[in-house]
Structure formats: structure tokens, C-alpha cells
């Protein structure tokens, strides 16, 4: 690392979106910067975001944006004040990368390729003369005589300031293994218990696999503790689309709700203690749904019940047959044979379909990590450690996480920017 005279030396650990932003920003503010990346290439996880299209942020207002965070939303206010959506778009504009706003409020690169975002960040770092070492993981971090010592397999580096931007545990195939959490914990930082976030759910409902590939649009889904009585069991509720898979359910509404599963949900004692309750007709009261069903049966009495559900109530036909069987009825029975008890069972399923949760798909398919470095030990105005001078954090390593939709990537960029700027201004004399 070739240090310029009288400039701070900053080492950034992790070259994901937060680390790349932090490194480029620190260098742009006058620091000599070394960026260490354990993988053979930078931004590996970034290439997976938005199904390879990279949804970098969201058009929501700042207040609405903050409301999409599960915990510690106030911690992010200073970072968003320094660098928010409009700043991010302008930043990429200077790198000749433009974005399109979709109807759902998500921003995607005009190229529709995540590689464009990764390449722009790399170009930014290279322009700022960031020294990038790939395939070099930080194995140990120590504070010694007013400086930081960062040991890798190849050598030991010294720095005035260190930024940990190693991400969490999600998508381990991209190299995420919680290394940053371990480095921070060894220094005495508190790590809030981690678990998969924004992750598909495994359902224990019999024969659910036959629904694989079927989508339900505009449904209301409630995550519920089925051990609790009545409305007290509701944990969270969202409206959106749901996708059935060979193992259970996914889709935006499910991914968002998965974050609200309690930390102990996967313990044997909690088996099938939580469920999803789906309202297929959120705009209609139960009595009206039942009336529509009975009217359709009376209007064409010889029409098969599965056809009535698919044609008159607009449900996917395979799903309609499965739902009828779930209610203990025959899909090929004529509507005229639907009894009052049968119609009530059908209506109950249409307004409150219960899917017991057997587990999640784990970190292998989780979009983010819930948990991380406690925000109580980080100064939100600088992203600096409150325990050690010259130590900063950025991105997914911190205990903040949000809904799907570009919110989490904005955190990576905002905290990366603030950490980089702060580290560049770190004054060793004030140690």
C-alpha cells in the first residue's frame, strides 16, 4: 500500500456494495485505501440481487423508507441525511450509469444487468486509486499502539482506520460466512443473534408441492403464532403476491414476513408453531365471498366446483382443485351439490387459508441476514465503533434489515458512504 504523505491509511474489509462505496468514498476524501476481498472477484453477492438485475433502491419517501425496516430504523437517519436515494442516483449518473423507475417503486439499471452496477463501482474505486487485493481474507484484527493491525494469510497490514463491510451470512456460496461478525466479537463488540432474513418458507401442508409455480396476486398474508388465542397470535401482516414452490412458498409478501419469525422458531419445541394465514379476497367480507360462491353454483348448477372457483372466482385451476380437496370435498362435484356446510368450509379456506410453517430455506436462499453488530455500539453519525477508535462498520454486517424492494442495498450504499467519509477524516492524534 503506497501511502501518500500526511494522509490517513484506511483498510476496508469486504468488497460488496458497502465496501466498494466505502473504499471509493474514503479515497475520494483524501485517504490512501486498501480494499481486501476474500473472493477472487468483487461484488459477488451484488450480482445476484434483483434476480440478476440489481434493484439498487426504492422511490419511497424517507419516512416510508424507514417504515420498511424491522429494527433500528432511527439509527439510519443520519446516514440517509448524508446520502439517500437522490444522491445515489446522481452518484451513478456521474459514472454514466442511469436507472429506470418501475411501477412498484423499484430502481433498476437501464441495462437490466447487475454487472453494470458492480463494474461502475469498481471503476469508481479504480479512478480514486483504491488498491484492491482479491482472494485475500482478513483473518485477524488487532488494535496496537495507536494503529490497527490486519492479518491475512499473505501478510500483515497496518492502518489508521479500518472499515468492516463483510456482509452477513446469506448466500454462503458467494463467500458470506460471518467473518466480520467474528472479528468484531473478538474485539468485544456485541453481535445480535443472526438468522436468515427475506427467505422462502417451507410449508408442512400435505401435497403442497403440486402447486409449484402457481402465483397468487394481491392477497393478504398474516404471519401468526398458532399457540396464541385469537388476534393476539398475529405477528405481522402484508399485502402482495405469493408464489408456491416445490418446498412451500416464496414471493415478495412471504419474504418480507419471514423476517418476523421469532429467533427460536426453528427449535424442535416450536415445530409447526407458526403459520401463514392467506386471505384470497382481501377486499371482500367473508359473507360476500360465500354469497358469490353460492350464486355461481346456482347460476350454472351443473358446472364443476373446480371450474366455478377458477372461472367465476378467478383462482388458478390446479390451486382450485387442491383447495377443494383440502376442504374435504371433491373437485369434480357439481356446484349444485355443494352443501351449506361445504360452502362454509370453502369460504373459510378462501378467506383464511392456513399454511403451517415447517422452517425456512436457510442462508442458502436468504436475501439478507437479520441480526449483526449491535447498533448501540456504533455512532450513527459516523458509523464509528463506540468501543475502539478508528473502527467503522458498513452494510449488512450491522443489525439493520428491511423489506425486499431495494431498501437493504440503499443501507449498504448510505452506510458505506458515511463510513468511508468518516474514516478518511479520522485523526490519529485524537486517538
65-97 pLDDT, tens per residue?
Answer: 999 999 999 999 999 999 999 999 999 999 999
* DSSP character at residue 312: I
pLDDT tens, residue by residue, 358-403: 999 999 999 999 999 999 999 999 999 999 999 999 999 999 999 9
Q: How many CB atoms lie within 10 A of CB 76?
A: 25
pTM: 0.92
On the question of pLDDT at 46 being above 60, the answer is: yes
Cβ proximity of 243 and 251 under 8 Å: yes
- The mean pLDDT value for 188-203 works out to 96
Rg (alpha carbons) of the chain, rounded to whole number = 25
What pLDDT, on the 0 to 100 scale, is given for residue 49? 92
The mean predicted confidence, pLDDT, of the chain is 94
Residue 5 confidence (pLDDT) above 90: no
Judging by DSSP bridges, how do beta strands 274-279 and 353-360 pair with one another? antiparallel
User: What span, in angstroms and rounded, lies between the C-alpha atoms of 127 and 112?
Assistant: 24
User: Tell me: domain 9-196+369-430, CATH 3.40.50.1820, correct?
Assistant: no
Are residues 181 and 191 in contact, defined by beta-carbon separation less than 8 angstroms?
Answer: yes
Q: Is the dihedral of CA 365, 181, 126, 90 positive or negative?
A: positive
Q: How confident is the model at residue 306 (pLDDT cuts 50, 70, 90)?
A: very high
Cβ–Cβ under 8 Å, residues 42 and 15: yes
Give percent above pLDDT 70 in the chain: 95
Strand ranges inside 114-160, DSSP E: 131-133, 138-144, 147-152, 156-159
Q: How far apart are CA 253 and CA 236, in angstroms?
A: 11
Pairing mode of beta strands 131-133, 32-36: parallel
Helix (H), strand (E) at residue 292: helix 286-299
Tell me the pairing of strands 147-152 and 156-159.
antiparallel
For 397-407, letters b (16+ CB in 10 Å) and e give bbbbbbbbbbb
Supply the pLDDT for residue 8: 75
Q: Which residues contact 6 (CB under 8 A, 6 or more apart)?
A: none
How is residue 348 written as a grid cell? Answer: 373459510
Strand partners, 239: 220
Compute the distance between CA of residue 212 and CA of residue 231 in angstroms, rounded to an integer: 30
Q: What is the mean pLDDT of residues 41-46?
A: 96
pLDDT the model gives residue 267: 66
Give the residue extent of every domain in the chain: 9-196+369-430, 201-360
> How large is the average pLDDT for residues 150-165?
96
pLDDT of residue 79: 99
Cell of 228: 396464541
Q: Which grid coordinates are listed for 388?
A: 475502539
Amino acid at each position: 500500500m503506497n501511502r501518500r504523505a500526511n494522509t490517513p491509511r484506511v483498510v476496508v474489509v469486504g468488497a460488496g456494495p458497502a465496501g466498494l462505496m466505502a473504499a471509493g468514498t474514503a479515497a475520494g476524501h483524501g485517504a490512501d485505501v486498501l480494499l481486501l476481498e476474500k473472493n477472487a472477484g468483487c461484488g459477488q453477492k451484488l450480482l445476484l440481487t434483483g434476480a440478476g438485475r440489481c434493484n439498487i433502491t426504492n422511490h419511497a419517501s424517507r419516512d416510508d423508507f424507514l417504515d420498511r425496516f424491522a429494527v433500528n430504523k432511527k439509527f439510519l437517519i443520519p446516514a440517509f441525511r448524508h446520502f439517500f436515494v437522490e444522491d445515489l442516483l446522481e452518484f451513478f449518473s456521474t459514472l454514466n450509469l442511469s436507472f429506470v423507475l418501475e411501477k412498484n417503486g423499484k430502481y433498476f439499471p437501464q441495462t437490466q444487468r447487475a454487472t453494470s452496477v458492480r463494474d461502475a463501482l469498481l471503476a469508481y474505486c479504480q479512478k480514486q486509486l483504491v488498491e484492491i487485493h482479491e482472494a485475500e481474507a482478513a483473518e485477524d484484527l488487532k488494535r496496537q499502539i495507536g494503529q490497527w493491525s490486519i492479518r491475512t494469510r499473505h501478510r500483515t497490514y497496518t492502518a489508521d482506520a479500518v472499515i468492516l463491510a463483510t456482509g452477513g451470512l446469506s448466500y454462503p456460496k458467494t463467500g458470506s460466512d460471518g467473518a466480520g461478525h467474528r472479528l468484531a466479537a473478538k474485539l468485544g463488540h456485541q453481535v445480535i443473534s443472526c438468522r436468515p432474513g427475506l427467505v422462502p418458507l417451507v410449508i408442512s401442508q400435505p401435497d403442497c408441492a403440486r402447486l409449484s409455480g402457481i402465483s397468487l396476486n394481491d392477497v393478504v398474508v398474516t404471519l401468526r403464532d398458532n399457540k396464541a388465542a385469537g388476534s393476539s397470535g398475529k405477528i405481522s401482516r402484508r399485502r402482495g403476491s405469493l408464489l408456491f414452490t416445490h418446498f412451500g412458498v416464496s414471493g415478495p409478501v412471504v419474504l418480507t414476513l419471514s423476517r418476523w419469525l421469532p429467533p427460536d422458531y426453528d427449535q424442535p419445541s416450536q415445530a409447526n408453531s407458526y403459520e401463514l394465514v392467506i386471505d384470497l379476497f382481501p377486499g371482500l367480507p367473508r359473507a360476500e365471498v360465500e354469497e358469490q360462491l353460492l350464486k355461481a353454483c346456482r347460476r350454472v348448477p351443473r358446472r364443476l366446483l373446480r371450474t366455478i372457483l377458477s372461472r367465476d372466482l378467478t383462482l388458478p385451476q390446479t390451486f382450485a382443485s387442491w383447495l377443494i380437496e383440502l376442504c374435504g370435498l371433491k373437485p369434480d362435484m357439481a356446484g349444485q351439490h355443494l352443501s351449506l356446510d361445504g360452502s362454509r368450509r370453502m369460504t373459510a379456506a378462501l378467506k383464511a387459508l392456513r399454511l403451517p410453517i415447517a422452517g425456512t430455506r436457510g442462508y442458502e436462499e436468504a436475501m439478507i441476514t437479520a441480526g449483526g453488530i449491535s447498533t448501540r455500539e456504533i455512532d450513527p453519525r459516523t458509523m464509528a465503533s463506540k468501543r475502539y477508535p478508528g473502527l467503522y462498520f458498513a452494510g449488512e454486517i450491522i443489525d439493520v434489515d428491511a423489506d425486499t424492494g431495494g431498501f437493504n442495498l440503499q443501507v449498504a450504499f448510505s452506510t458505506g458512504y458515511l463510513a468511508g467519509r468518516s474514516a478518511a477524516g479520522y485523526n490519529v492524534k485524537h486517538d
